[in-house]
Structure 1
């Protein structure tokens, strides 16, 4: 691994963007946050830091921004709480860290990394994870920090529809989306992945999705790194992130095709939908999704952030547009 590699950083801020939820001001704020996340993460790579530093630097920006369902903008559970999940994985060492169901951790991605680096475990949950956060010096906040009026209103709408035993398709779809993630390739040719989420609106019984599950929503090895965003139950059942990487590293399927097969064929065939970002050791980028849109961006050699939201946005990768007819009903 002595040869220098051109560093690459890819991020997402969630799939399933419903166009009528976006106004010009929100779109501008989202694009600015994605750009900032790319710049902060890429600064780490330019400084010769490892891929994991870029991943956590980028995700921290998105966790601190209320426009995304992670950290500050997390959605509410059925009981009116915010429950946060996150995971990181280092592709070079295959080390990983994950946390689930925390209520007071300002930046869940930093706690996931601490689990990887400072404990002998991979995954911690709930009160135990928060006790570990204290020991590891990770910043804790009052649960009220996470509350935003928009997310609270989304819960009220979902509760009302529950009570009336009806499900509006947009709401049903929107419930499952909004996660932030990053994958990076550093100058040493090493890959890393991370994902952070507030889960789904109106979730019950301590439900946990794919984001903190290594192999489902987050995975990296020495040839591939993936972070997913979508209907978590389906990503868990397909072990989506690991599945993409196995196709790339074991079956020698090109990254874009491997990612599209899992995200746009396998998951929709089971009734799920969503998107993912993927990166291979050669710096190839894939950002498949089968929803209205996916907040996404990437940055490479020229240091220029490329940011996109909708399916018809030019995200600079030269990809054909995702087939909109493959989104799940």
Structure 2
């Protein structure tokens, strides 16, 4: 009997302003979501692992300038990118993460190698890039990541001396930029991956929830895989991803109930806006958010594909 497999991805959540999204921009975003979820699903359909599927999907989103990860990363106060990523394999709860990397085209791929080849869980900054060099990764100049759109956003933020804009010129000015994927393969293994450029105008080597296992990324066979996107500091304080898994493990809640309880509960009370994507051991997919939108897509166990942006779209 053929076992179920499925995949879900996200490209960030927040106050996504449709009124400021051109038809061309929406088309590029939806095309990238379609390509990412389709290629990840193809790996699963060919008997590939959930880990390979989520890394493939996230890499495609990292290559797009329309998401806050990889090529499209926001700029720090020093006008450069500092990227974070994590991968987790639910089979034995293996995990790998990198933080504060500046010259790696696809941080999620390096996070996978940290998990599989380093003997560690997280590597930071120069150490992570030294490890990458030993594995033969190309050194990617900062110019690759620079886009006019991100530079204009940074200048506007600096003018307001803030890390978020009160007046929006782009549809994602209030978006909590992260990309992620979760998957179930036909061996019953779950996996999650998350990647981000972090917070616009960030300082002091700030690291958010994306590379922190149990906060922005988590996978545990027989229960759930989760990738989060939102206000990183609050997601860390609430241990969002691991809290969802714990509710399923100990309270026997289904994936929808557990995600809703966390996203609409203490996280929201503490001012943590954003969302999660999650998939359980039977392939049931959940998109949860307490904000107006999330770039998202999935292909379920029946092969049905969906691509959505607004929160009300089901």
User: How far apart in 2 are the matches of 1:301 and 1:291?
Assistant: 27
Q: CA deviation at 1:304?
A: 3.9
User: How far apart in 2 are the matches of 1:10 and 1:248?
Assistant: 19
Query: Which residue does the alignment assign to 1:288?
Result: 288
Q: Superposition pairs for residues 94-113 of structure 1, below 5 Å?
A: 94-113=93-112
Q: List alignment gaps of at least 5 residues for structure 1.
A: 315-329
Q: Say which SS state the counterpart of residue 84 (structure 2) adopts.
A: strand
User: For the Cα contact (< 8 Å) 1:176–1:200, is it kept in 2?
Assistant: no
User: For the Cα contact (< 8 Å) 2:164–2:174, is it kept in 1?
Assistant: no
Query: Which residue does the alignment assign to 1:86?
Result: 85
The answer to whether structure 1 residue 187 and structure 2 residue 186 are counterparts is yes
TM-score (norm 1): 0.90
User: How far apart in 1 are the matches of 2:148 and 2:168?
Assistant: 20
Cα deviations by residue, 1:284-328 (Å, 9 ceiling, x for unpaired):
1110111120000110244342100002223xxxxxxxxxxxxxx
User: For the Cα contact (< 8 Å) 1:175–1:201, is it kept in 2?
Assistant: no
Q: CA deviation at 1:170?
A: 6.1
User: How far apart in 2 are the matches of 1:11 and 1:167?
Assistant: 26
Query: Which residue does the alignment assign to 1:20?
Result: 19
User: How far apart in 2 are the matches of 1:152 and 1:27?
Assistant: 20
The answer to whether structure 1 residue 129 and structure 2 residue 128 are counterparts is yes
Query: Which residue does the alignment assign to 1:322?
Result: none
**Please, what is the CA RMSD of the aligned residues?**
1.8
Cα deviations by residue, 1:105-159 (Å, 9 ceiling, x for unpaired):
0000000000001101100000110010011223331111001110111100000
User: How far apart in 2 are the matches of 1:304 and 1:286?
Assistant: 14
User: For the Cα contact (< 8 Å) 2:29–2:66, is it kept in 1?
Assistant: yes
Query: Which residue does the alignment assign to 2:227?
Result: 227
Cα distance change, pair 201–166 in 1 and its aligned pair in 2 (3 A): closer
User: For the Cα contact (< 8 Å) 2:13–2:175, is it kept in 1?
Assistant: no
User: How far apart in 2 are the matches of 1:309 and 1:209?
Assistant: 23
Q: List alignment gaps of at least 5 residues for structure 2.
A: none
Query: Which residue does the alignment assign to 2:240?
Result: 240
**Greater mean deviation of Cα atoms: 28-37 or 131-140:** 131-140
User: How far apart in 2 are the matches of 1:233 and 1:170?
Assistant: 23
Cα deviations by residue, 1:145-199 (Å, 9 ceiling, x for unpaired):
0011101111000000018x9962769x946611000000000111000000000
Query: Which residue does the alignment assign to 1:202?
Result: 201
Cα deviations by residue, 1:190-243 (Å, 9 ceiling, x for unpaired):
100000000010111000000000000000011110000000001000000000
**Greater mean deviation of Cα atoms: 136-145 or 47-56:** 136-145
User: How far apart in 1 are the matches of 2:141 and 2:269?
Assistant: 42
Q: Say which SS state the counterpart of residue 168 (structure 1) adopts.
A: coil
Q: Say which SS state the counterpart of residue 111 (structure 1) adopts.
A: helix
Q: Say which SS state the counterpart of residue 288 (structure 1) adopts.
A: strand
